[in-house]
Amino acid sequence: MNILFVADPLESFKIYKDTTFVMMREAQKRGHRISACETQDISWQTGGKVSAHVRHITLTGEPVSWFVADDRRPDQLEVLSGFDAVLMRKDPPFDSEFFYSTHLLEQAEREGAKVFNKPRALRDHPEKLALLEFSQFSGPTLVTRNAADIRRFHAEHRDIILKPLDGMGGMGIFRVTDEGMNLGGIIETLNKGGAQSVMVQKFLPAIAQGDKRVLVIGGKPVPYSLARIPQGGEVRGNLAAGGKGVAQPLSARDAEIGNTLGPVLAARGLLLAGIDVIGDSVTEINVTSPTCFQEIYDQTGFDVAAMFIDALEAALTA
């Protein structure tokens, strides 16, 4: 099987924790051929098919020079529909270029390519707003551009979290407690004078026990979550913001959330999703390039990458 990974530059991978890397490693272990490209390498021209400048790679098992590439000529394109599977693993932000790339990938689907996660599903499930559909699992949440609405939400809940809709890795997240310190300045920073929408959520004290990443693969939850626990007075548990990752078995509530949302997301073409849960409440649903495979494997021995490639192979033969 030939698999194309659409990802960030290979040279930027931190392979000791990178989920895309362990997907590649598991695929190669099974005898599948691995190729990679970036979104900027994808193009379409009248009379042709969606194509990309790709690198055919082999993993070496070395920690530094971890791959060797059979680099093609700069002008040589390969048709995406010629691969058995295309895995869209470009990290956020979900900006205009990411959006445009999903349209190119959707055209590749029309030409016969099998793309995971499905491009339309990526567009239809922005990671902050996807939880609106599943509000029975969320805590008090407001999405608005209106500063007065945010102030009313704060007056009601007294301790709140504000974040941009296009943030990642904990970037741009603010906590405002009862006294409302700097609320006005934070609103101005995030909503840009009413031009940009903001998500506001009631602060959940259970963040002290971690922001749990519940992975769902092929509609089924991985039996372990990764609780990302804030460190050093931080309110953010994101690993990119210095959080400590602690793998733990799913709670009954985590399993309920995963088993409820999983089949719905899978039916829409989301082979892999990462549901973020604080306490008993869903805070986000990540679909672009969910991570935490390696941390869970290192601490529990459960091979998440194997479960993922199993699901991919099953999807291709269904």
Sign of CA dihedral 159, 191, 186, 125: positive
Same domain, 24 and 97: yes
Domain assignment present for residue 293? The answer is yes
Which of 182, 203, 224 is a domain's end point? 203
Q: What is the pLDDT of residues 288-302, one digit of tens each?
A: 999 999 999 999 999
Is 276 a known active-site residue? yes
For 87, the token pair is 């895995």
CATH number, domain of 181, equals 3.30.1490.20
* Catalytic residue from among 26, 38, 284, 295: 284
Q: What is the pTM of this model?
A: 0.93
Domain assignment present for residue 316? The answer is no
* Catalytic residue from among 114, 128, 202, 212: 128
Is 191 a known active-site residue? no
* Catalytic residue from among 236, 238, 254, 295: 236
Contact 83, 37 (CB under 8 A): no
Q: What is the pLDDT of residues 121-168, one digit of tens each?
A: 999 998 899 999 999 999 999 999 999 999 999 999 999 999 998 877
pLDDT of residue 82: 98
For 241, the token pair is 């913001």
> Between 277 and 95, where is the model more confident?
277
* 48 SS3 class: coil
Same domain, 12 and 115: yes
Is 284 a known active-site residue? yes
* Catalytic residue from among 191, 213, 238, 254: 213
* Catalytic residue from among 26, 228, 238, 254: 228
pLDDT of residue 221: 98
Q: What is the pLDDT of residues 188-216, one digit of tens each?
A: 999 999 999 999 999 999 999 999 999 99
Give the separation between CA 109 and CA 210, rounded to whole angstroms: 38
Is 228 a known active-site residue? yes
Identify the domain containing residue 181 by its residue range.
Answer: 140-203
pLDDT over 70 at 49, yes or no: yes
Q: Are strands 2-6 and 33-37 parallel, antiparallel or unpaired?
A: parallel
Same domain, 13 and 113: yes
Contact 104, 44 (CB under 8 A): yes
pLDDT of residue 72: 67
Same domain, 271 and 167: no
Neighbouring-strand partners of residue 217: 220, 272
Same domain, 190 and 213: no
Neighbouring-strand partners of residue 285: 275
CATH number, domain of 210, equals 3.30.470.20
The average pLDDT across 42-46 equals 98
Same domain, 268 and 215: yes
Is 286 a known active-site residue? yes
Same domain, 248 and 298: yes
Is 95 a known active-site residue? no
Same domain, 184 and 284: no
* 144 SS3 class: strand
Is 236 a known active-site residue? yes
Same domain, 225 and 188: no
Based on its alpha-carbon atoms, the radius of gyration of the chain, rounded to whole angstroms, reads 20
pLDDT of residue 241: 67
Contact 131, 261 (CB under 8 A): no
C-alpha dist (Å) from residue 245 to 15, 26, 118, 297: 17, 22, 29, 12
Is 111 a known active-site residue? no
Q: What is the pLDDT of residues 250-268, one digit of tens each?
A: 999 999 999 999 999 999 9
* Catalytic residue from among 89, 118, 163, 212: 163
Domain assignment present for residue 178? The answer is yes
Mean pLDDT for the chain? 94
What percent of the chain is modeled with pLDDT above 70? 98
CATH number, domain of 15, equals 3.40.50.20
* 185 SS3 class: helix
Domain assignment present for residue 105? The answer is yes
Domain assignment present for residue 56? The answer is yes
